[in-house]
Amino acid sequence: MDLQQHLKKYAELILKVGLNVLPGDKLIIRLDEYGLPLAREIARQAYALGAHDIYLAFADDQITLARYLLAPEEAFGTRPAFFAEFMEAAYLDNYHFLALNAPNPELLRDADPRRISNWNRVLSKANEQVARYSMENRIKWCIACLPSPAWAKAVFPALGEDEAVAALWQKIFEATRVTMPDPVAAWQAHEVQLKRRVNFLNEQAFEKLLYRGPGTDLEVCLPEGHVWMGGSSRIPRGDVFMPNIPTEEVFSMPHAYKVNGLLQATMPLSTSGRLIEGMRFVFKDGAVVDFDASSSREILEDLLNTDEGARRLGEVALVGDDSPISRTGLLFKNTLFDENASCHFALGKAYSESHVRGNEMTAEEKRAAGMNDSLIHVDFMVGGPQLEVVGVKADGARVTLLRSGNWVV
Binding site for Zn ion (CB under 5 A): 249, 251, 315, 317, 346, 379
* CB of residue 2 to Zn ion, shortest distance in Å: 32
Residue nearer to Zn ion on the CB measure, 104 or 354:
354
Give the whole-angstrom CA distance, residue 145 versus residue 337: 9
* Half-sphere exposure in the Cβ direction for 2 (13 Å, CA): 5
* CB of residue 321 to Zn ion, shortest distance in Å: 16
Residue nearer to Zn ion on the CB measure, 21 or 303:
303
Q: Which helix (H) or strand (E) holds 380?
A: strand 377-381
Residue nearer to Zn ion on the CB measure, 25 or 315:
315
Residue nearer to Zn ion on the CB measure, 317 or 392:
317
* CB of residue 164 to Zn ion, shortest distance in Å: 27
* CB of residue 339 to Zn ion, shortest distance in Å: 5
CA distance readout (Å), 142 to 25, 71, 228:
14, 32, 20
* CB of residue 231 to Zn ion, shortest distance in Å: 12
Q: Which helix (H) or strand (E) holds 88?
A: helix 82-92
Give the whole-angstrom CA distance, residue 391 versus residue 101: 35
Backbone angles phi, psi at 199, to 5 degrees: -65, -40
* CB of residue 43 to Zn ion, shortest distance in Å: 29
Residue nearer to Zn ion on the CB measure, 94 or 359:
359
Q: What is the DSSP string of 200-226?
A: HHHHHT-SEEEEEETTEEEEEE--TTB
Q: Which helix (H) or strand (E) holds 162?
A: helix 161-175
Residue nearer to Zn ion on the CB measure, 17 or 317:
317
CB atoms within 10 A of CB 44: 12
